[in-house]
Amino acid sequence: MYHVLQEFMTATKGMCYVLSFGLLVIFVPFWLFLSEREKDDTSLPDKDEH
Amino acid sequence: MSQPATATGKLLTPFNLITAAILAVGGVITVLRFFVSGLAGTTNLTDTYPWGLWIGFDVMSGVALAAGGFVISSAVYLFGMKEYKPLVRPAILTGFLGYSLVVVGLLYDLGRWYRLPYPFVVKPGPTSMLFEVGLCVALYLTTLAIEFSPAALEWLGWKRLRQLVGSLTIALTILGLILSTMHQSSLGALFLITPTKLHPLWYSSHLPVHFFISAVAGGLGMIIIESALSHRVFHDQVEISGERFSQLTVGLAKAAAVTLAVYLAVKVIGIAMDDKWHWLASGYGGWYLVEMLGFVALPCFLFVIGYRERRLGAIRVAAVLTVLGIVLNRLNVAIFAFNWQLPAAERYFPSWMELWVTVSIVTAGVWIFRFIVKRMPILHEHPEWRGQH
């Protein structure tokens, strides 16, 4: 059963779609973690200062 | 900084002496290469390995690491991130020198180097991917020369021409973005005809996408490294405060973290798409994991930590790892994972003269960069042209 599923997922590129969706979902907490401290942070580059 | 810094200084410094010795030996090898013994006498290139270090490092890595020019100028002039404007000129200069030295490295590698313009003026090959790369690099080098010219024209005091070139900034930035997107990806596309020669872990029908995304990350890494070194070495030229410079570095770290995360995701999807998981358990698989984990995932993590915690040290380490990772990737594609099925005795390893020429080209780039930065308004704005493109 496992081999049948693996072959099906490979032949149809299904694994690729599942993985892409998983990585997209993971990107959300990654982005939130990355930008968590931006809300009240004043040490970021000031867009008006140039 | 209102006064242009003086360009005079001591001539017999350790840096000058060591680099002059490197360039002197490089000059002798250059004479051997072009006028005495040719490629056969100076390189370990063969019919099996017609492309060696001069293509794998000087051209492939050089182009990728010079991507900072189009990345930062597009961010500032097209996407409105004007706070990064102080980084534009150093990045354009790095890109201009990088591409110039790519052409120098290419001349060393070409058997009949004097035929470099042939594809454009004698016998074009518009169906060849190499033609597209050559055309884009030639056009982008011209674009970079014009983008860099305001600094030279301000230095020379040629005001009318400076005004004219300044008015072309947006058009040049758009042209640079298009040309860079095309040839950065096309360099990867060059290897699409090598599915039997390039190891499956590095070969992908999406190589152009891999090359483009990794070039953006490499360009960002180079901007961080180059600006940190310039800030230290040319501190008398730098105009912006240390605090603002730190803010810009931290901002670049966020962009680099996202770019590397996307690159890692695309590479993982590529493995899944072609079902190459079993290759990861081989020796080459271990080497691939070193590249992916040590030089993509680790710097991505360090950029994230550096951005969140405002740690400049972590960001700079991550930038160095990123740049090394891009170089490693290009060397893997062009040399290490190429012809991977050949026995060890038939594999290519560069001769000491190839290595020396590469070091000499990089050294010459550092010299020219230093010469220009000490004289022209690169790290500061010219008082008469303050706030203009």
Check CB contact under 8 Å for B81 and A13: no
* The total number of residues written for chain B in this structure: 389
d(CA B220, CA B21): 31
Q: What is the mean pLDDT of residues A20-24?
A: 93
Query: What CA–CA distances, in Å, run from A11 to A1, B28, B274?
Result: 15, 57, 9
Q: Which residues pair with B198 in a beta bridge?
A: B338
pLDDT on residue B5: 45
Q: Cβ contacts of residue B263 below 8 Å, gap of 6+?
A: B210, B213, B214, B217, B296
Is the model's pLDDT at A39 over the cut of 80?
no
> What does the domain layout of chain A look like in residue ranges?
2-34
d(CA B302, CA B344): 36
Closest CA to B95 of B174, B180, B24: B180
The overall average pLDDT reported for chain A is: 79
B89 contacts in chain A (CB < 8 Å): none
B275 contacts in chain A (CB < 8 Å): 10, 15
| Closest chain A C-alpha to B204 CA, distance in angstroms | 14
Q: Which helix (H) or strand (E) holds A26?
A: helix A14-34
d(CA B297, CA B289): 10
pLDDT on residue B243: 86
Is the model's pLDDT at A48 over the cut of 60?
no
pLDDT on residue B389: 67
B249 to chain A: nearest residue by CA? Answer: A45
Q: What is the mean pLDDT of residues A19-40?
A: 87
Check CB contact under 8 Å for A45 and B257: no
B83 contacts in chain A (CB < 8 Å): 45-47, 49-50
Neighbours of B313 (CB within 10 A): 9
| Closest chain A C-alpha to B271 CA, distance in angstroms | 9
Q: Show the tokens assigned to B25.
A: 């030996």
Using CB atoms, pick whichever of B86, B265, B275 lies closest to residue A23. B265
Check CB contact under 8 Å for A16 and B269: yes
> What sign does the CA torsion over B212, B117, B168, B61 have?
positive
A13 contacts in chain B (CB < 8 Å): 273
Q: Which residues pair with B338 in a beta bridge?
A: B198
Question: pTM value?
Answer: 0.90
Per-residue pLDDT of chain B (389 residues; tens, 9 = 90+): 444 444 556 788 888 999 999 999 999 999 999 999 999 999 999 988 899 999 999 999 999 999 999 999 999 999 999 999 999 999 999 999 999 999 999 999 998 999 988 888 888 888 888 899 999 999 999 999 999 999 999 999 998 999 999 899 999 999 999 999 999 999 999 999 999 999 999 999 999 999 999 999 999 999 999 999 988 888 888 888 888 889 999 999 999 999 999 999 999 999 988 889 999 999 999 999 999 999 999 999 999 999 998 899 999 999 999 999 999 999 999 999 999 999 988 899 999 999 999 999 999 999 999 999 999 999 888 877 777 76
- Domains in chain B (CATH in brackets) are 14-385 (1.20.1630.10)
A47 contacts in chain B (CB < 8 Å): 81-83
B303 to chain A: nearest residue by CA? Answer: A34
B250 to chain A: nearest residue by CA? Answer: A44
